[in-house]
Amino acid sequence: MLRHIVIAGATGEVGKELLGLACALPQTEVRALVRRPKTVPASAAIETLFDYEDLLAYDRLFSTIPCDVLLIALGTTTAKAGNQGLIRVDRDYPIALIDALERHHPQACIGFCSSVGADQPRGNYLRAKAAVEERLRQCPLAVTVVRPSLLLSQRQEFRMAEHMGAAFAPLWLWAVSKFAPSSEFAWKFAPIHVSTVARALLNTTLGISPAQHVTLQGLSLRQAGE
């Protein structure tokens, strides 16, 4: 039977990895929701233009397309979108997707890319992630939440924290492996590659049972993405 995967944020660093992995799965139709046409790299995915600001678009989407798995890797920064913009992208858009999915596809499962620190949120960004996680806790659908730390990727845009993280990552990862290999705390904050995050999110979401909720961070996130 054909499986239908929908990805929100497929043009981002985690999203591109999710897209590549999902498109390689057998008997799977992959749909990427995008805000600008022709932004998804050439792949077997269907590109669907989606206006996240249109409140009616969510029900319109899920009432007309099949969806077994929804993967959410949306995100922005305050520098790019301002405080209110960040809240829209990191909190309101994911929650609107989840609400509409639950209404139209109660058998589907959800994979959500959150962030380390969402369990003890401080500041707009982590509060937005925590709000989505809270919505997911109330959700009867099967759910995987991943909480990565600093992402390592080939991002074109310059982001200082990621730039510094990438520079120190080899030393950081070596030190954790050598001196604290089983320390959940140390792994939780160690930089992690986007491919590991995407593999963990996709594989776990595909493997969970109905109504099961799984949260991965630190060591469990790395192990699931190996």
Ligand X SMILES: NC(=O)c1ccc[n+]([C@@H]2O[C@H](COP(=O)([O-])OP(=O)(O)OC[C@H]3O[C@@H](n4cnc5c(N)ncnc54)[C@H](OP(=O)(O)O)[C@@H]3O)[C@@H](O)[C@H]2O)c1
Q: Is 73 in the site for ligand X (CB under 6 A)?
A: yes
State which residue has the least CB distance to ligand X.
12
- C-alpha closest to that of 118 among 102, 141, 136, 93: 136
Element (H, E) at 179: helix 160-179
CA 206 – CA 1 distance, rounded (Å)? 14
The distance of closest approach from Cβ of residue 133 to ligand X in the complex, given in angstroms and rounded to an integer, is 12
CB closer to ligand X out of 67 and 112: 112
Q: What is the largest CA-CA distance in the chain?
A: 53
Binding mask 24-63 for ligand X (x = CB under 6 A): -----------xx--x------------x-----------
Using the rule CB under 6 A, which residue among 14, 71, 145, 206 binds ligand X?
Answer: 14
Q: Is 70 in the site for ligand X (CB under 6 A)?
A: no
Q: What is the DSSP letter of 34?
A: E
Q: Is 162 in the site for ligand X (CB under 6 A)?
A: yes
Neighbours of 207 (CB within 10 A): 13
Residues 6+ apart with CB under 8 A from 79: none
Binding mask 115-154 for ligand X (x = CB under 6 A): x--------------------------------x-xx---
CA 26 – CA 71 distance, rounded (Å)? 18
The residues of the shown chain that bind ligand X, judged by CB under 6 A, are 9-15, 35-36, 39, 52, 73-76, 89-90, 113, 115, 148, 150-151, 162
